[in-house]
Amino acid sequence: MTQTPGPDEKVCPFCAEVIRAAAVKCRYCHSDLPVLAEDADAPSDVRAVFPAAGTAHDIRETPAPAEHEPEPVTLLPAPALELPGQGTTLNRATSIMLVLCLVLALGIAGLFWSARVDDLATAGDGQVTSVPYRDAAMSAAAANAALVLSYGYKTLDDDEKKARAVLTAGFAKKYLAVMGKAGPKAADAKLTLKATVASTALISLRKSSAKVLLFVNTITTAAGSDRQQLNQNRVLMTMTRQDGDWVVSNLDAF
């Protein structure tokens, strides 16, 4: 039976469970809840990421021009890196020893985590219940989506290389087939696509596989133009654990 939220409750937009109205993270699906204006309408236009066979559209097709010019995107500059001056009390030998100790500590931590993967707590259906492992899977999905769905006409080869590094061999073939058509179109129109993940929701998680729903914003710009096209998409990503990392084995519009 569908629950009706009370005056101090709301419905999670990802798993439809009733939660506290002030919640910023769902206690059922662990999704980060977007902070939006009250009663804002959810986007209804979902761009197909990898369409079914036989359709004429693909992941990288040029979007239709925006009717209104969106707000400009302001990126914060990276903080400057402060280097120690000549008056530092650490000499070269001490600095080298500190670096070696840090590398050794990270190596030990990596071995400890690898050993823990086999001992992860799971529910009766095999779903992993470890919160750090679940958070790591969602973070990996967001990072992988940004790599796979972003590319520019000036950096196509480098962008494809970075994307293939986070794909399984089977899915890499599908990705390259799509980019074989989308890449030339982007080059001709001088387009750059920048994808960022606004929110994630974990559908299922096992020790070696995961399914994650991602809400992705893609900003498309053309060289020589101040206009930007914003597309809002829902993407269902399937990942596989490979050599200790999460790699993408499938990607579908949701």
- Can you count the helices (H) and strands (E) in the chain? 4, 7
Q: What is the pLDDT of residue 121?
A: 73
Distance between CA atoms of 117 and 235, rounded to whole angstroms? 27
Q: What is the pLDDT of residue 87?
A: 43
pLDDT of residue 12 exceeding 80: no
Measured over the CA atoms of residue 167, residue 211, residue 145 and residue 156, the dihedral's sign is: positive
Residue with tokens 């893609």: 218
| Residue 236 structure tokens | 């269902």
Number of Cβ within 10 Å of residue 185's Cβ equals 14
Mean pLDDT of 83-109: 55
Half-sphere exposure of 95 (CA within 13 A, CB side): 7
pLDDT band at 91 (very low <50, low <70, confident <90, very high): low
Q: What is the pLDDT of residue 97?
A: 66
Mean pLDDT of 123-136: 88
pLDDT band at 98 (very low <50, low <70, confident <90, very high): low
Distance between CA atoms of 213 and 222, rounded to whole angstroms? 29
Q: Who wins on pLDDT, 21 or 66?
A: 21
Q: What is the pLDDT of residue 21?
A: 79
Q: What is the pLDDT of residue 17?
A: 78
Q: Who wins on pLDDT, 173 or 59?
A: 173
| φ and ψ at residue 20, rounded to 5 degrees | -65, 145
Do 150 and 193 touch, CB atoms closer than 8 A? yes
Distance between CA atoms of 235 and 214, rounded to whole angstroms? 5
pLDDT of residue 168 exceeding 80: yes
pLDDT of residue 107 exceeding 60: no
Mean pLDDT of 42-46: 37
Distance between CA atoms of 8 and 5, rounded to whole angstroms? 8
Mean pLDDT of 201-223: 95
Q: What is the pLDDT of residue 106?
A: 60
Question: 3-class SS at 172?
Answer: helix
Question: 3-class SS at 123?
Answer: coil
Q: What is the pLDDT of residue 76?
A: 40
Average pLDDT, the chain: 75
| Residue 185 structure tokens | 């179109």
Distance between CA atoms of 32 and 212, rounded to whole angstroms? 13
Do 3 and 16 touch, CB atoms closer than 8 A? no
Do 251 and 48 touch, CB atoms closer than 8 A? no
| Residue 102 structure tokens | 């840090």
Distance between CA atoms of 172 and 178, rounded to whole angstroms? 10
Distance between CA atoms of 59 and 181, rounded to whole angstroms? 10
